[in-house]
């Protein structure tokens, strides 16, 4: 059985890496800040059938951690850019999965709909066609 890695944010303190295998689970804690994590590479599963879902979840979880930590907007953009680059997404601002993942992260972070809409407009621009993808991700909350 293939071992899979998932990045799970802890509210405002960093990231935990959960390693789940066929024989059990172990948990290790990293005290990296969200900006440190954004600039360091993650290891991703090469299972192509789950790549889109895994990427969406990574973006969701990164967005959640950012919102909960109250970080710098430019650091958030760099972090999302790094996640996207690792997945071969060259223009994350125009990528449906990235924007939907951001919306899901905003919902997970308990922003109300108005706050989420404002965040998305500040991030993508008021006239962006991808605002609807952020909204869709927010509504789905996945």
Mean pLDDT for back-to-back runs of 10 residues, the chain (142 residues): 39 34 36 40 41 92 94 91 94 94 97 95 90 95 79
C-beta atoms surrounding 135 within 10 Å: 18
Cα-Cα-Cα-Cα dihedral sign, residues 109, 8, 11, 126: negative
pLDDT score of 8: 40
Q: What's the predicted TM-score (pTM) here?
A: 0.66
- The burial of 101, by beta-carbon neighbours within 10 Å (0-12 exposed, 13-18 middle, 19 or more buried), is given as buried
Can you read off the two tokens belonging to residue 9?
A: 């944010």
* Residues whose CB is less than 8 angstroms from the CB of residue 74 and which lie 6 or more positions away in sequence, other chains included: none
Residue with tokens 């959640």: 64
* Residues whose CB is less than 8 angstroms from the CB of residue 7 and which lie 6 or more positions away in sequence, other chains included: 15, 16, 17, 42, 58, 61, 62
């Amino acid at each position: 059985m293939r071992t899979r890695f998932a990045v799970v944010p802890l509210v405002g303190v960093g990231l935990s890496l959960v390693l789940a295998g066929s024989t059990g689970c172990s948990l290790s804690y990293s005290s990296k800040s969200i900006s440190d994590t954004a600039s360091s590479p993650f290891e991703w599963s090469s299972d192509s059938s789950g790549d889109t879902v895994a990427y969406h979840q990574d973006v969701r979880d990164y967005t959640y951690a950012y919102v909960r930590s109250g970080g710098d907007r430019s650091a958030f953009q760099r972090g999302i850019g790094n996640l996207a680059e690792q997945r071969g997404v060259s223009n994350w601002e125009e990528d449906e999965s990235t924007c939907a993942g951001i919306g899901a992260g905003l919902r997970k972070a308990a922003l109300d709909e108005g706050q989420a809409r404002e965040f998305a407009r500040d991030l993508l621009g008021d006239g962006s066609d991808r605002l609807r993808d952020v909204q869709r991700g927010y509504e789905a909350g996945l």
